[in-house]
Amino acid sequence: MSETEGREGARARRRERGGGAEARRAARRGGGATQRKFITRRIPLYEVLSEEGLALIEANAETILQEIGIEFRDDAEALALWKQAGADVDVVRVRFPKGLCRKLIESAPRSFTQHARNPARGVEIGGPHTVFAPVYGPPFVTDLDQGRRNATIEDFRNFVKLAYALPALHHSGGTVCEPVDIPVNKRHLDMVYSHIRYSDKPFMGSVTAAERAEDTVAMAKLVFGEKFVDDNTVLISLINANSPMTFDGTMLGALKVYARANQATIVTPFILAGAMSPVTPAGTLAQTLAEAMAGMAFAQLVRPGAPVVFGSFASSISMQSGAPTFGTPEPALVLYGAAALARRLGVPFRSGGSLCGSKVPDAQAAYESAQTLLPTVLGGVNFVLHAAGWLEGGLASSYEKLIMDADQLGMMQVMCEGVDLSENGQALDAIREVGPGSHFLGCAHTQANFETAFYRSAIADNNSFEQWQAEGGLDAYRRANGLWKKILADYEAPALDPAIDEALRDFMQRRKDSMPDAFA
Amino acid sequence: MSETEGREGARARRRERGGGAEARRAARRGGGATQRKFITRRIPLYEVLSEEGLALIEANAETILQEIGIEFRDDAEALALWKQAGADVDVVRVRFPKGLCRKLIESAPRSFTQHARNPARGVEIGGPHTVFAPVYGPPFVTDLDQGRRNATIEDFRNFVKLAYALPALHHSGGTVCEPVDIPVNKRHLDMVYSHIRYSDKPFMGSVTAAERAEDTVAMAKLVFGEKFVDDNTVLISLINANSPMTFDGTMLGALKVYARANQATIVTPFILAGAMSPVTPAGTLAQTLAEAMAGMAFAQLVRPGAPVVFGSFASSISMQSGAPTFGTPEPALVLYGAAALARRLGVPFRSGGSLCGSKVPDAQAAYESAQTLLPTVLGGVNFVLHAAGWLEGGLASSYEKLIMDADQLGMMQVMCEGVDLSENGQALDAIREVGPGSHFLGCAHTQANFETAFYRSAIADNNSFEQWQAEGGLDAYRRANGLWKKILADYEAPALDPAIDEALRDFMQRRKDSMPDAFA
DSSP string, B263-299: -EEEEEEEEEBTTTB-SSHHHHHHHHHHHHHHHHHHH
Which positions in chain B touch A434 (Cβ < 8 Å)? 244
Alpha helical stretches, state H, A41-129: 51-63, 76-85, 100-105
d(CA A280, CA B449): 9
H-run or E-run covering A481: helix A476-490
Residue-level pLDDT at B30: 41
Shortest Cα–Cα distance, A402 to chain B (Å): 12
DSSP A167: T
Give backbone dihedrals phi and psi of A99, rounded to 5 degrees, phi first.
Answer: 85, -10
E strands, A197-352, in order: 203-204, 235-241, 246-247, 264-272, 308-311, 313-317, 324-325, 349-350
Q: Cβ–Cβ contacts within 10 Å for residue B302, how many?
A: 18
Q: Which of A60, A396, A428 sits opposite B426 (nearest CB)?
A: A60
Polymer length in residues for chain A: 520
| ipTM score | 0.94
Reduced to 3 DSSP states, what percent helix, strand and coil does chain B have, rounded to the nearest 5? 45, 15, 40
Q: Find all residues with CB under 8 Å of A407, minimum gap 6, and list them.
A: A30, A31, A168, A457, A458, A459, A460
For the beta sheet containing A147-150, the strands, ordered from the edge strand earlier in sequence to the opposite edge, are A147-150, A140-143, A396-398, A390-391
Identify the closest residue of chain B to A331 by CA–CA distance. B454
Give backbone dihedrals phi and psi of B435, rounded to 5 degrees, phi first.
Answer: 70, 175
Q: First CA to last CA across chain A, in angstroms?
A: 50
DSSP B233: B
Question: Which residue, B190, B142, B291, B259, is CA-closest to B507?
Answer: B190
Angle between helices A249-260 and A210-224 (to 10 degrees): 20
Shortest Cα–Cα distance, B347 to chain A (Å): 23
Residue-level pLDDT at A90: 98
Model confidence over A114-127: pLDDT tens digits? 999 999 999 999 99
Identify the closest residue of chain A to B406 by CA–CA distance. A367
Model confidence over B125-142: pLDDT tens digits? 999 999 999 999 999 999
Residue-level pLDDT at B4: 31
- Map A101-115 to HEC letters: HHHHHCCCCCEEEEC
d(CA A91, CA A88): 10
Model confidence over A173-229: pLDDT tens digits? 999 999 999 999 999 999 999 999 999 999 999 999 999 999 999 999 999 999 999
d(CA B205, CA B228): 17
Residue-level pLDDT at A429: 96
d(CA B413, CA B29): 11
What are the beta bridge partners of residue A95? A88
Q: Work out the percent of chain B whose per-residue pLDDT is above 90.
A: 91
Residues A301, A85: contact at Cβ < 8 Å?
yes
Q: Is B270 left (phi over 0), alpha (psi -120 to 50) or beta?
A: beta
Q: Find all residues with CB under 8 Å of B96, minimum gap 6, and list them.
A: B65, B66, B69, B70, B87, B88, B294, B297
Residue-level pLDDT at B142: 98
pLDDT beyond 50 at B175: yes
Shortest Cα–Cα distance, A324 to chain B (Å): 7
Residues B287, A433: contact at Cβ < 8 Å?
no
Which positions in chain A touch B376 (Cβ < 8 Å)? none
Residues B358, A438: C-beta atoms closer than 8 Å: no
d(CA B294, CA A436): 13
Which positions in chain B touch A362 (Cβ < 8 Å)? 362-363, 366, 475-477
d(CA B388, CA B409): 8
Identify the closest residue of chain A to B475 by CA–CA distance. A362
Residue-level pLDDT at A33: 53
Question: Which residue, A235, A224, A189, A229, is CA-closest to A500?
Answer: A224
Model confidence over B431-465: pLDDT tens digits? 999 999 999 998 999 999 988 889 999 999 999 99
Kindly compute the dihedral angle of the four CA atoms of residues B446, B451, B452, B458, in this order, to the nearest 10 degrees.
130
Angle between helices B76-84 and B249-260 (to 10 degrees): 60
Question: Which residue, A440, A365, A53, is CA-closest to B425?
Answer: A53
- Map B297-346 to HEC letters: HHHHHHCCCCCEEEECEEEEECCCCCCEECCCHHHHHHHHHHHHHHHHHC
H-run or E-run covering B95: strand B93-95
Model confidence over B364-376: pLDDT tens digits? 999 999 999 999 9
Residue-level pLDDT at A519: 83
- Which pLDDT band, with edges at 50, 70 and 90, does B504 fall under? very high
Residue-level pLDDT at A320: 85
Question: Which residue, A34, A366, A373, A19, is CA-closest to A170?
Answer: A34
d(CA A172, CA B458): 36
Query: B244 preceded by cis ω (within 30°)?
Result: yes
Best probe of the B interface among A46, A51, A419, A443, by most B CBs < 10 A, is: A419
Residues B200, B492: contact at Cβ < 8 Å?
no
Residue-level pLDDT at A440: 95
pLDDT beyond 70 at B63: yes
Share the mean pLDDT of chain B: 93
Residues B276, A246: C-beta atoms closer than 8 Å: no
Residue-level pLDDT at B27: 47
Residues B60, A428: C-beta atoms closer than 8 Å: yes
- Which pLDDT band, with edges at 50, 70 and 90, does B508 fall under? very high
All residue ranges of chain A with pLDDT < 70 are: 1-33
Side chain identity at residue A44, one-letter code: P
What are the beta bridge partners of residue A233? A114
d(CA A31, CA A404): 11
Residues B330, A454: C-beta atoms closer than 8 Å: yes
Q: Cβ–Cβ contacts within 10 Å for residue B149, how many?
A: 12
Which positions in chain A touch B404 (Cβ < 8 Å)? 363, 367
d(CA B389, CA B142): 10
d(CA A9, CA A7): 5
Residue-level pLDDT at A36: 84
- Which pLDDT band, with edges at 50, 70 and 90, does B319 fall under? confident
Q: Cβ–Cβ contacts within 10 Å for residue B366, how many?
A: 34
Side chain identity at residue B349, one-letter code: F
d(CA A4, CA A420): 8
Query: A244 preceded by cis ω (within 30°)?
Result: yes
Residues A367, B362: C-beta atoms closer than 8 Å: no
pLDDT beyond 60 at B42: yes
Residues A363, B418: C-beta atoms closer than 8 Å: no
DSSP B219: H
Residue-level pLDDT at B300: 98
d(CA A155, CA A177): 7
Question: Which residue, A455, A437, A163, A29, is CA-closest to B72?
Answer: A437
Question: Which residue, A304, A307, A323, A324, is CA-closest to A315?
Answer: A324
Q: Which of B274, B285, B463 sits opposite A454 (nearest CB)?
A: B274
Residue-level pLDDT at A319: 87
Residue-level pLDDT at B2: 32
How many pairs of residues across A and B have Cβ atoms under 8 Å apart?
Answer: 419
Residues B42, B14: contact at Cβ < 8 Å?
no
Q: Which of A275, A370, A420 sits opposite B367 (nearest CB)?
A: A370
Where is average pLDDT lowest: A9-23, A401-415, B195-209, B317-331?
A9-23
DSSP A493: P
What are the beta bridge partners of residue A313? A270
- Map A231-276 to HEC letters: HCECEEEEEEECCCCEECHHHHHHHHHHHHCCCEEEEEEEEEECCC
Residues B456, A318: C-beta atoms closer than 8 Å: yes
Question: Which residue, B163, B229, B154, is CA-closest to B200?
Answer: B163
Residues A244, B274: C-beta atoms closer than 8 Å: no
Which positions in chain B touch A426 (Cβ < 8 Å)? 56-57, 60, 280, 282-283, 286
Give backbone dihedrals phi and psi of A514, rounded to 5 degrees, phi first.
Answer: -80, -10
The alpha carbon of B271 is separated from its chain's Cα centroid by a whole number of angstroms, namely 17
Strand, coil or helix: what is A125?
strand
Polymer length in residues for chain B: 520
Question: Which residue, B267, B266, B283, B265, is CA-closest to B275?
Answer: B283
Question: Which residue, B405, B308, B369, is CA-closest to B108?
Answer: B308
The overall pTM is greater than 0.90: yes
pLDDT beyond 50 at B197: yes
Question: Which residue, A47, A92, A42, A96, is CA-closest to A69?
Answer: A96
d(CA A16, CA A214): 39
Best probe of the A interface among B367, B451, B464, by most A CBs < 10 A, is: B367
